[in-house]
Amino acid sequence: AENGETLPSGLGDRLAFSLNLSAVSAARERPDPVGKEGLRQARARLTDVTVPQDIAEALIESALRLGILSMRAPGFCLSAARGLAALSGRTIVTDEDARRAAELVYADRMEAWVARLVPEATPLLRLAARCQHLERWSVPRSSFPMDRPGYQFLAGPALPQ
C-alpha cells in the first residue's frame, strides 16, 4: 500500500482480520509448524468441528460489549475458532480457541474504531485500543465500582482521561 492509503470501511467490515507483512523478510526461512499434511488433515477435520453454545454466545456478547454491531465479526470469530481447533486436531472449539480468535478479529475493529474517532491517534492509543479487550469477559463488571473511575481502574492507565 502507498503511504497513507487505507482500506475502504465497507471492505474492512468484510475481512476477518488484517496482516501487516511489511516487516517480514521473504529471504528468512521459517519453520512450518503445521506442514502440508497437517494442513490437509485440518481441512478435512474442519467440517466436523463444532462450537459449544456457550462459546458462541460469549463471542457474540463480547462483540456487542465492544460496540461491534455487525454480525460479520462474531461469524469471523466462530470460523477462526473452528480453524484453530481443526489445526490442533480437535473437533470441538475450546475457550482458548475462542479467546485467540477474538484477539485476531476484534482487535482490528477496535483499532479502526479509535482511528475513526481520533484520526491523529498516537501509536500508543491505537495499541491500547487493540489490547484493551483481551480477556475482558473474564472480569465480571460487578467486581469493580459501577462508575467511570471504576471502569478506568479496570481498563488501566492507557485510556485518555
3-state secondary structure 56-115: HHHHHHHHHHCCCCCCHHHHHHHHHHHHHHHHCCCCECCHHHHHHHHHHHHHHHHHHHHH
Strand, coil or helix: 11: helix
Mean pLDDT taken over the chain: 76
pLDDT in tens, 42-93: 999 999 999 999 999 988 888 887 777 778 888 989 999 999 999 999 999 9
Q: Which residues contact 78 (CB under 8 A, 6 or more apart)?
A: 51, 56, 59, 93, 101
Q: Which residues contact 67 (CB under 8 A, 6 or more apart)?
A: 113
How many whole angstroms separate alpha carbon 52 and alpha carbon 41?
22
Q: Which residues contact 151 (CB under 8 A, 6 or more apart)?
A: 144
**Nearest CA to 87 among 49, 39, 17?**
39
pLDDT at 159: 38
What integer is the mean pLDDT of 35-43? 90
DSSP 16: S
Strand, coil or helix: 48: coil
Under the banding of pLDDT at 50, 70 and 90, the label for residue 21 is: low
153 grid coordinates:
481502574
pLDDT at 70: 79
Residue 147 φ/ψ, nearest 5 degrees: -140, 175
pLDDT at 156: 46
pLDDT in tens, 135-161: 555 666 666 666 666 555 544 444 343
How many whole angstroms separate alpha carbon 92 and alpha carbon 82?
8
Instruction: Kindly report whether the global pTM for this prediction surpasses the value 0.85.
Output: no
